[in-house]
Amino acid sequence: MRPKFVAGNWKMYTSAGTAKALATTVAMSMKGDKRVMVAVCPPFPWLGVVASALDGMSVMLGAQNCHFEKEGAYTGEVSPAMLRDVGCQYVIIGHSERRHGFGETDDLLNKKAKAALAAGLKVIFCVGELLAEREANQTEQVLDTQLTNGLAGLTSAQMHSVVLAYEPVWAIGTGKVATPEQAQAAHAFIRGKLAGLYDAGTAAHVQIQYGGSVKADNAAGLMSLPDVDGALVGGASLKADQFLAIVNAAIG
Ligand code: PGA
């Protein structure tokens, strides 16, 4: 039985003050509840302040991106070891805003995933098709390529530290959520692909989150689908009451 995992991707929102308040409210409300895994992923500058707010609490800390080198002359970049050092357990890799807004390729994302895992981070690895790709019936082909190339060289043991997030790009920040049928079909395809790349046991173990306009009123329906193991939440993760309602929907 895979535990549900709800992660909040705060993107480039919040201030030091609102980040601390949001993390504190979420953590206090969870009160060590172990029925669902919860993480928040603030912008880089607030990781330290949020790590302090989460100290001793069950809510976990994630970052939204990292570089693939350990250190070096890479102005403006942050290494996986630095993220570990500041208290992160997770890092999001391959978010569509990185893929399509910053030109991050499968090959680059593969390097980042490997580096993050080598540093002891767990990875939330995002995949998902553009609207034009869905309309051209290329969804499975796109997911296949993103998974084959993005996970290349990762062992089944390493896949125990990887969470996948299926995020149809047309559903992110648009209010257009995937239908339960679309979400389940994509998640089942991803799980089948994992079985092919690895084995049935690995495929059954890996959590696959859905992301894209998850809100309090659609979260329960999505997370009750057999292959949807939680949510990666953008906009609704910035309001404690909305995020906590999604977390509660995961508890069922
Ligand atoms: P959204 O974002 O919930 O605002 O659609 C999801 C994401 O980008 O991870």
Ligand 1 atom nearest 175 alpha carbon: 5
**Ligand 1 contact, 163 CB (< 6 A):** no
**Ligand 1 contact, 233 CB (< 6 A):** yes
Q: Ligand 1 center to residue 232 CA distance, Å? A: 7
DSSP class of residue 235? G
Which of 95, 97, 104, 187 is an active site residue? 95
- The whole-number pLDDT of residue 1 equals 78
| pLDDT 10s digits, 186-207 | 999 999 999 999 999 999 999 9
**Ligand 1 contact, 232 CB (< 6 A):** yes
What is the rounded CA–CA span in Å between residue 196 and residue 59? 33
Q: How far is CA 117 from CA 157, 161, 179, 222, 237, in A?
A: 11, 7, 33, 28, 25
Average confidence (pLDDT) over 100-116 = 98
Q: Ligand 1 center to residue 203 CA distance, Å? A: 25
What is the rounded CA–CA span in Å between residue 251 and residue 5? 10
CA dihedral for 77, 112, 175, 4, sign (positive or negative): negative
**Ligand 1 contact, 94 CB (< 6 A):** no
- Whether 78 shows a pLDDT value over 90: the answer reads yes
Q: Ligand 1 center to residue 199 CA distance, Å? A: 30
| pLDDT 10s digits, 159-194 | 999 999 999 999 999 999 999 999 999 999 999 999
252 pLDDT tier (thresholds 50, 70, 90): confident
167 in catalytic set: yes
Q: Ligand 1 center to residue 235 CA distance, Å? A: 6
- Whether 237 shows a pLDDT value over 90: the answer reads yes
Averaged confidence pLDDT in the chain: 97
95 in catalytic set: yes
Nearest-5° Cα angle at 83, 210 to 129: 25
- Whether 31 shows a pLDDT value over 90: the answer reads no
Task: Say which residue the tokens 């994630």 belong to.
Answer: 62
Query: How many residues are present in the chain?
Result: 252
The gap from C-alpha 186 to its chain's centroid, in whole angstroms, comes to 16
Percent of the chain residues topping a pLDDT of 70:
100
Which of 104, 129, 133, 167 is an active site residue? 167
Torsion on CA atoms 8, 12, 14, 19, rounded to nearest 10:
50
| pLDDT 10s digits, 126-166 | 999 999 999 999 999 999 999 999 999 999 999 999 999 99
